[in-house]
Structure 1
Amino acid sequence: MAGIMVILDFDKTIIDIDSDNWVVDELGATDLFNQLLPTMPWNSMMDMMMKELHAQGKTIKDIEDVLKRVPIHPRVVPAIKSAHSLGCDLRVVSDANLFFIETILNHLGIRECFTEINTNPSYVDEEGRLRIFPFHDFHSSSHGCNRCPPNMCKGKIIERIQASLAIEGQKRIIYLGDGSGDFCPMLKLQEVDYSMPRKNFPVWDLISKNPGLIRAEIHEWTDGDELERVLLNLIKKITIQDSVQLLSVDCKFETIPMAVHEPLRPALPVNQ
């Protein structure tokens, strides 16, 4: 199954909520969050929120405990484990942050299913405060995409992954996402790939308004049950297609030369 890569968004795709909002709300900082939201980019604001929470005495363990309570559909973890067991290369592309994502994936017991996590970097500093930084350092330069937020263009990430796949050998991509930030990477998918937008979420609305822009085959889903069913059916479909293609390549027929016979001679007359 080395020919399949499954790329998943995190918030409202793997988990059922936005992890940033969840931490802020659960730690009682919603009002401050709403005050800061109009004043700075989201990614910068989350770094500021971690500073304020730290000043209020909230610890890293408090944040971890909140993250371990995030709601998730009961079929999502089995779906991820099944895709991994079938040999798919699973990766995360998310505008959350590394600390939140790894804390949740480790808690769910599926961190080892993913070969790569592409997200905003974060770490706990010497004072015990969580620092969150942009994936693209937009303070020094722009990533140049007007569809995406300044800190992250998921389309650029997909292009980098596609370039590496071209070197390693062709893989088909299945991309799952829900937000407006997932529209750009879905635009980068090829005809052999598959797009799995979450129905009635922002990315679905964008696709519905621009149906001709997506080259990949589109398979929508609404909840964890459908995520599991659609994803595993696509993996099965690709596996069968690849097996048939491999079989057709391997089955080479050789021409068997006909035996050369001397021409028939007319029978001699029988002497009476």
Structure 2
Amino acid sequence: MGSTTATAGSGGQAPAGATTGSSGEGTGASTSTSASATSSGSGTGGDPPDPGFQPCPATGPCKVLPLGDSITFGLGFDGGYRVELFHLAHQDGHEITFTGTQQMNGPAMVDGAPFPRNHEGISGETIEQIANRVPTPALRDMPHIVLLHAGTNDMVRSANGADTRLAALLDELIAEAPDALIVVSSIIPLPFATAAVDTFNATIPGLVEERASAGAHIIFADQFAGFPTAELGDQVHPNQAGYARMAGVWYEAIEGYLR
């Protein structure tokens, strides 16, 4: 969304090649905020519930697919949560890269290392539109981990049935990427649609639990809990601190699976 009455990302995209922060080599560490992640039916973030399941390879980078809309793209802060997530993994000695067909934003370097700018966050897209990119082209480079934040645009266009559409997207991801870890989050606050967001978010843990109980490699990460509206730069998209907060939640959810 580009404004409080438009769809996610309608305000445009960050310019390609823009730098992060004033130095052009941001880590986001200075704005990192403590956050929590949980997994429904699958243990807690950072502690794999199934020690026998390891989505990441023994050698080489773990391929992470950021999947969603403009919040995944990073509208409002160049590179979005991906910058701080890369930094958190890098500082702990984990080798990750990002996959996806989009390469339009993010710094060239983070922590002195080339920043992988790929992602699959397209501004303005609803859950159904995101689902239309699965498996092609989103899974063209098959990821080891999928990070899904989807539904913000649905809250504006058609909140009714958003949980059903999300369920269908989850089933498609599970079917098309059965060996990947799928991390599904609640959506961050949307101050002008609080009732719709609350209703939608309340359904997500159950959707994850149902599929985890059936044997899918899927966990829940709570991006909504504790997220202050002060960290929304335009009442829709996070500012730098908000994206750093999101990165902390994602990282807590996946860190135990990284090598």
Q: Normalising by structure 2, report the TM-score.
A: 0.40
Q: Higher helix proportion, which one?
A: 1
User: Could you say which structure has the larger radius of gyration?
Assistant: 1
